[in-house]
Chains A and B, each alone.
Chain A
């Protein structure tokens, strides 16, 4: 009760201040009247009675003050008064206030946007119950330089059975395309094959119907017969029908029963998935070597309670070592690795985001230094006011608080504007981000973000408020009031603003060094040849669905017909097909052995692609030796392969590989199929521009039995996309029910491969540019201030015959000293700071000499130019006029 009453009294003292004061006045009046009456009764004269009453009461004003103090709201009233005063002061200097708010808003806005992304991607836990217990598993293999690779299903099941730390293990494979029919027009969708316990391991339930069951992983026919669909598919394809559970649909021509609909927020492993299907392995598959040979599932596990990540890691490693002994061939060198599922999903996005967060913090520091200097200059202009207040009895503490209040008000206004700017910034981030970089569809400004911004703003206020506050407190009033000592105090002021200018220049150098390294990386990447000529090539991905193209001959016939049809489209110069377009992540890999040579001592991991004849000519990949594929290389002729230069250099160094025979088994047996190497082609970058070409085999599609999914490439005479309608029509002419899965140009493929680098570079460049500009403005401000304060001295010097040049030199020399210190500090910080970005660089090292030469030089020159302007103005001033003005 008493706490409530105390709060009520305080609130009343604050809000109903006038009423409280009025009551006090009435009490005092009553008291004095009674005392006077008593004195009259004692026989005094009325005047004497009043006088005595006042004496006995003591100072009325003292009582009022003491009463105010006793109300316990003094600090708040002072704070409010300070804030009102601050607002008045800020409104009196609209230009300065606008400059400060804008500077802060830029820094805080950038922080809001980047922190929103960091919060959404890195800080927010996964939307699953007890998601800290979830881990992703993968296979490591030193011989094959694997890390966190997808695992073999048999190994996954052994881990599930043998690692005690795991409550359960499930697995999924990466989404694969399928066509949904039997419900309106054929609809291309993404299916995610999962084990039956996938949903229970994640801990999610279906919105309607049920999730999959563990036993449903297996299917006697080897084909999934049940499915769980996404909320999106349920709404789009089934119009949200209530009776969707139990309905049968056709996926790639096979009947599948829908058993459940997931909640709208469920998206795993990414936003693309529409349907989750059981793996559909046959129960007999478990015994087959292929169940351990092919590594294609991504296991996830839920840890038991109270098991740490380290304990689980150790147990998993022990089990993996045991499996190596049990399966010496298939599990050779095969270790296992686990990491938190969240960390795994965030993956490569983490580093760039943290780098950007670091960059915006540095930018904010620069903004703070800049605003600090602005306020300092302003405080100097008001030194007489401060001195006057000190002389009139204001406490130094109160003056410091006043200065801090001003900077806090400023930073809060800056935060408000910055938050709005940042909200807009998150939209821009969301729109500009390369697809899939931020694994969230939109980046929301949420409560943690607002909290972060408020904390940052308060910190800023303290940071840039410190210099003016301390300065105003250390002022000796007498000194400030005396005109002559101006130069004395201004020296002290100058030391503060010099320090701030040096700090912001050094930080700007650090920021620009980071951006410079990324720009150099990007330019190098941009210049890197992908190994083929992407210009003027249309790429259309097709899927000959298994249900209708159920034999190799049918698939081959389909692609032959499509190629012939597309070749007839006007504007098509040449046509070919490839199983995986380069720069998009590679295809499947395997081991191989060479006829007549002992089995390899080390596992080899080489990539395979299937092409139709003419692929290399179309891509302008050079044939370095031997011959290209021809139409004659079909199933009725001996199998042949081409190898790329990387493979020749790695495995056939100093030998002529042409005519050698290879097979795709590490330990060939009677069933192995031997192929003859007929030629060597140039390297293409398979995974991305930043990753060196890897060894690759190429086989003619006609000898590989046909792959359901192929990309048709068309080299065109004009704009590739202009041919798309013709290509679609040609495909429809072959199969009216088939629509291309995707269509793009190879120029776009190349551009997409650079998208993440470009995105990070542009952001960092924008931040660095802003920081650079702020620092230069800051230096200019300091120099202008210096020049203004020394105008009189300059005037005297010029009047005494000094050359204008010598006077300019005085100012520039000062700037030179500041820039020198800033460059030294900035470069030192850069050497340490850019080391953290090693993983994001391509072709340049963190300490790249060129970047480290250009960036500090550019800032130094710009800063010197900025300081020369005010110096010139001073030296041009009319000496007599300047002297009179003082």
Chain B
């Protein structure tokens, strides 16, 4: 599988965004950079899909947003994890591990 074509698995984008935001509040572009960085370039996001995802998370009250000025003095919308979001991340992570193990077990079975 070539790195550029690796699409984000359906439903995991929210998980990645939440995980990224555990470090510090970030704007959308920052999140996309961080995800690509953490995946060592293996995941090439369709960056535009971040914004609907952030909107969804905000409606669930897992993230909050506010307009701030960046280091080089430009306005950007920053997203921060809420307490509910932190809790949800824990649960989603556990779910994800269970799922991966399950799929792996099935694939490994000969």
Contact = CB atoms under 8 A, between A and B. Distances in A.
Interface of A: 1-2, 5-6, 9-10, 23-24, 26-28, 30-31, 34-35, 38, 56-60, 62-63, 66-67, 69-72
B5 interface: no
B32 to A, nearest CB: 8
Given A6-B59, A27-B28, 19 more contacts: A5-B61, A10-B59, A23-B77, A26-B75, A26-B77, A27-B51, A30-B29, A30-B77, A31-B29, A38-B33, A58-B46, A58-B47, A58-B49, A63-B51, A66-B48, A66-B49, A67-B55, A70-B56, A71-B59
Interface size grouping (class) on chain B: 20 to 34
Given A30-B27, A30-B76, A34-B29, A62 B59 contact: no
A60 B56 CA distance: 18
Contact of B55 (A26, A38, A62, A71): A71
Nearest to A32: B29
Contacts of B29: 30-31, 34-35
Interface in B3-24: none
Nearest to A3: B61
Contacts of B27: 27, 30-31
Given A27-B77, A30-B29, A63 B48 contact: yes
B74 interface: yes
B100 interface: no
A38 B33 CA distance: 10
Leading 6 A-B pairs by shortest Cβ distance: A2-B61, A63-B48, A66-B52, A58-B48, A70-B55, A70-B52
Contacts of B92: none
A63 B46 CA distance: 10
B51 A56 contact: no
Nearest to A56: B47
9 contacts: A26-B75, A27-B51, A30-B27, A38-B33, A56-B32, A56-B44, A66-B49, A66-B51, A67-B51
B75 A30 contact: yes
B4 to A, nearest CB: 10
B60 to A, nearest CB: 8
A57 B27 CA distance: 15
A70 B59 contact: yes
A67 B55 CA distance: 7
Contacts of B46: 57-58
Contacts of A72: 59
A67 B77 CA distance: 15
Contacts of B32: 31, 56
Main SS of chain B's interface residues? Answer: helix
Interface string B42-77: 001111110111011011110000000000001111
A51 to B, nearest CB: 14
Contact of B48 (A9, A10, A30, A60): A60
B94 interface: no
Contact of A62 (B33, B44, B48): B48
Contacts of A10: 59
Contacts of A59: 48
A819 B56 CA distance: 58
Nearest to B47: A57
B61 A6 contact: yes
Contacts of B75: 26, 30
B102 interface: no
Contacts of A24: 51
Contacts of B53: 70
A35 B51 contact: no
Contacts of A57: 46-48
A711 B74 CA distance: 101
A9 B52 contact: no
A62 B55 CA distance: 14
A297 to B, nearest CB: 69
B59 A31 contact: no
A9 B28 contact: no
Contacts of B59: 6, 9-10, 70-72
A81 B84 CA distance: 35
A6 B29 CA distance: 24
Interface in B75-96: 75-77, 84
Nearest to A27: B77
Nearest to A71: B55
B58 A9 contact: yes
Given A30-B27, A31-B29, A58-B47, A63 B52 contact: yes
A474 B78 CA distance: 48
B64 to A, nearest CB: 8
Given A58-B49, A70-B55, A30 B44 contact: no
B91 to A, nearest CB: 15
A512 B61 CA distance: 61
A485 to B, nearest CB: 42
A626 to B, nearest CB: 98
Nearest to A10: B59
A687 B29 CA distance: 92
B47 A31 contact: yes
A67 B47 contact: no
Contacts of A71: 55, 59
Max count, chain A CB within 10 A of own CB: residue among B58, B59, B77: B59
B41 to A, nearest CB: 12
Nearest to B76: A30
A31 B70 CA distance: 12
A70 B48 CA distance: 13
Contacts of A67: 51-52, 55
Nearest to B56: A70
A659 to B, nearest CB: 101
B21 to A, nearest CB: 16
A27 B32 CA distance: 13
Contacts of A63: 48-49, 51-52
A6 B51 CA distance: 17
Max count, chain B CB within 10 A of own CB: residue among A6, A10, A31: A31
Contacts of B51: 24, 27-28, 63, 66-67
B85 to A, nearest CB: 10
Contacts of B48: 28, 57-60, 62-63, 66
A205 to B, nearest CB: 53
A28 B32 CA distance: 13
Contacts of B58: 9
A38 to B, nearest CB: 8
A69 B49 CA distance: 12
Contacts of B44: 56
Contacts of B56: 70
A5 B65 CA distance: 12
A2 B55 contact: no
Contacts of B47: 31, 35, 56-58
A5 B62 CA distance: 11
Contacts of A56: 32, 44-45, 47
Max count, chain A CB within 10 A of own CB: residue among B47, B74, B77: B47
B50 to A, nearest CB: 8
B33 to A, nearest CB: 8
A701 B11 CA distance: 100
